[in-house]
Amino acid sequence: MIDLRLDDALVHSMLLRQFCEQLVPVGVQFCLSQYRHGGDANLLLEQLPLGYLRLSADFAHQPLAQDVRDEMREVIERAHRLGLQVIGQEPWRTRRRPPRCGWAESISSKGNLVQRAEHALDFDFKNATL
pLDDT digits over 82-120, tens only? 999 988 876 554 444 444 444 333 334 444 444 555 566
Q: What is the structure's pLDDT at 104?
A: 38
Report d(CA 73, CA 81) in Å as an integer: 12
Task: Count the neighbouring beta carbons within 10 Å of the beta carbon of residue 106.
Answer: 15
pTM for this model (two decimals): 0.67
Check whether 25 has a pLDDT greater than 90.
yes
Contacts of 123 (CB under 8 A, 6+ apart): 109, 113, 115
- Concatenate the DSSP letters of all residues of 28-44 into one string: --EEEEEE---HHHHHH
- What's the structural domain count of the chain? 1
Region 19-38: mean pLDDT is: 91
Q: What is the structure's pLDDT at 48?
A: 92
Report d(CA 3, CA 114) in Å as an integer: 23
CATH code for the domain in which residue 36 is found: 3.20.20.450
Residue 119's domain comprises 2-128
pLDDT digits over 30-87, tens only? 999 999 888 889 888 889 999 999 988 888 777 778 888 888 888 888 999 999 998 8
- Concatenate the DSSP letters of all residues of 79-101 into one string: HHHTT-EEEPPPHHHH-SS--SS
Q: What is the structure's pLDDT at 117?
A: 55
